[in-house]
Structure formats: structure tokens, C-alpha cells
Amino acid sequence: MHEGAFWLSHTEPHGTEQTMMNRRAQNRLPSNAPDPAGNEAGSEVVSPTVSHLKQVRINEGDLAYSERGTGDLVILVHGALGDYRIWSSQFAALSQQYHVISYSRRYHQPNLPADEATDYTHRGHVDDLIALIEALQLGPAHLVGHCYGGAVAAVLALKRPEMVSSLVLAEPSLFSMISHPQDRVSLRLHGIALNVVQKLTENAEQELAVREYVNIALGKDGYDDLSSEVQLVVNENGHTLGPMLRTYFEPTELDRSSALNIKTPTLLIAGESSSRLYHAIIRQLEKCVPNSELLTLSGTSYGLQTADSTDFNEAVLEFLSRNEMAVKQRHH
């Protein structure tokens, strides 16, 4: 983790960009203080098991989830190669003030695994999240999504805005937002790199495919820089990689035009060292989503909610708190 300041590229709707340094010094515990879960601040933490794991029957399948806390509902939507465990730090921090649910998307551990016949699509995962909120009868929800999970959360907000109180999108894989010619080149190069990963999955070289995918997402040596706990999670979900990549670049319902219809308060989070492609996506979202603001975490890349969990958690908590009154006024 980068222990220096995090800086906020903060643009109010159609406003001017500002930079704020050393927020940690202003409003948080010292960097060496333990976090509420008992872990050192900023450490990567992924609980291998949660004793109170639950299941809910959704669209002819069982989805595992963990929940804790009381108050407004927050649902954590994990990205590629993740499951409910990847949000351990956020689960601990946010549940002190909110009713938090961290669930495993279909086919991800400990749910029934994917296979070669699996239909792994954005639409299917969006439908699952809609059904989850309906089944638990707890909505509307604040949605916090990363990567693929961010795309799922954003599309849900577009389709069913009454279900969503606010959005936190951490570098969502919304490739339909790409427009600039140079960014399209980045997208093509990303696709070429992932073709290598796809071939590895087809050759049953799952462990190597996982390593290569993570290195593409996080940069050279990205896999080796992960904690052993995070490596465990991504490897245990390696079976989802092939099915996911088959439909990874298919257009979602959210593009630059439809994004204008998302009126939900939205926090966009980027890692300073993330790839040009994901910076392009997040900048397009900032331009197109009317009620959005952008925050960049310094010294981090694509795995930002684990690599810089302290700053990430504080940013989410501050955003939720700031919008809480407006959200309640809108829904009551």
C-alpha cells in the first residue's frame, strides 16, 4: 500500500477538478493504527472463511453471501476472479455503520463452479443482482462494485434505478464507454493480450492463465505482489476465467448515450497507476454520468480495494455519509 496521501480528483457535476492532499492526516487514525477488524491499517486482508455464510436461491441457482451490520443496505459486487472474500476489509469497515452484504456472483466460490457450457454474461449477473435484492426484500441498496462487478452495478442502476441509492464504481470494465481512437487502440491491445489468457484456459493451464490475467490487469509482477490470501481467492476462482473471457467484450446496455440516464449519485474510483484503458473508461463515465465525481487513489493500480483498502474504505464511507440525507429524501 502507498502510505502517503491520497489525492482526490474531485469533479462535482460539470464542475472543476480539485486536488486534496493528506486527507488521512485530517480525519483518520494514524497509518499504523489497527483498523476496526483488528488488522493493521492498509494491510491486504481476505478472510478465507466466514462462519455465518448464507445462501439464497436465485434464478435456479444458489448464491452464497455474508451479511453484517444494521442501517442502510450496502451490497459489495466483486470483480473477475473474486468472490465474497475479496471484500473482507470493506465488509469489516462498512458494517460498523451500514447493513453490508458481500455475495459471490454465480459460478464463483463457494457456489457451483463454471464449466465449458456455462453462459457467463453481464446480463445474467445483472439479473442475479436484481433477483438478490428482490429476494432479500432489503432495497434500495448502495452498490459498491469493482471491475466486472462495477459493470454489473452500473447496468443495474441504468435498468432499475429505484433499486439503487448510490453507486461506487471502482474501475468498471465497461468497454462500451470507449470512444477516442487512441483508447480504441488500447482496447484492441487489451483484447490481444487476453486472447493469450483464453488460449491458456482452453489448454487447461488454469494456474498460468490466472497469473497472466492478473499481470495484465495489475502490471508486471502483479500476481507476485498479491498477498497469499488474495492469490488463494483468485486461484480458487480460476475456473471462471475461460467462460468470462468468451463474452468479456460483448457490449453492455450501458454506453456513452445511456449513461446520461443514470441519475444516481455516483463515486468513480481509479488507481493512479492503472492502465490507460481503465482511466479512459472512468473519464468517460465522469463526463457522461450527470451526478458523478471522480477520485484517484495515488500509488495504486487496478486491485485498489485490497492494495489500498484504508483509503478506499474512507472514501466510500465519506461518500455514503455525504449522500445519505439526499438519498433518504429521494426515496421517502
Look at residues 254, 278, 280 and name the one whose alpha carbon lies nearest to residue 126: 254
C-alpha distances in angstroms, 305 versus 40, 214, 235?
15, 15, 18
**Burial environment of residue 156 by CB neighbours within 10 A (0 to 12, 13 to 18, 19 or more):** buried
Amino acid occupying residue 330: R
Between CA 212 and CA 209 the distance in angstroms is 5
Q: Predicted confidence band at 14 (pLDDT cuts at 50, 70, 90)?
A: very low
Q: Per-residue pLDDT tens for 231-275?
A: 999 999 999 999 999 999 998 999 999 999 999 999 999 988 888
Q: Per-residue pLDDT tens for 47-60?
A: 434 447 999 999 98
What is the per-residue pLDDT for 138?
A: 87
Q: Which of 111-125, 195-209, 228-242 has the lowest mean pLDDT?
A: 111-125
What is the per-residue pLDDT for 193?
A: 93
Alpha helices in the chain (DSSP H): 23-27, 88-94, 122-136, 148-159, 181-202, 206-218, 222-225, 228-236, 241-246, 276-288, 304-307, 309-331
More confident call, 301 vs 12: 301
Residue with cell 492494495: 307
| Cell numbers placing 146 | 469493482
Q: Number of C-alpha atoms within 13 angstroms, CB side, residue 28?
A: 25
- In this structure, the strands spanning 61-68 and 73-77 are unpaired
What is the per-residue pLDDT for 10?
A: 46
Containing 219, the helix (H) or strand (E) segment is none
Which domains are seen in the chain, by residue range?
Answer: 23-181+252-331 (3.40.50.1820)
Look at residues 111, 11, 16, 118 and name the one whose alpha carbon lies nearest to residue 55: 111
Average pLDDT over residues 5-20: 38
Look at residues 111, 97, 92, 100 and name the one whose alpha carbon lies nearest to residue 45: 92
Between CA 124 and CA 292 the distance in angstroms is 26
Position 97 pLDDT exceeds 60: yes
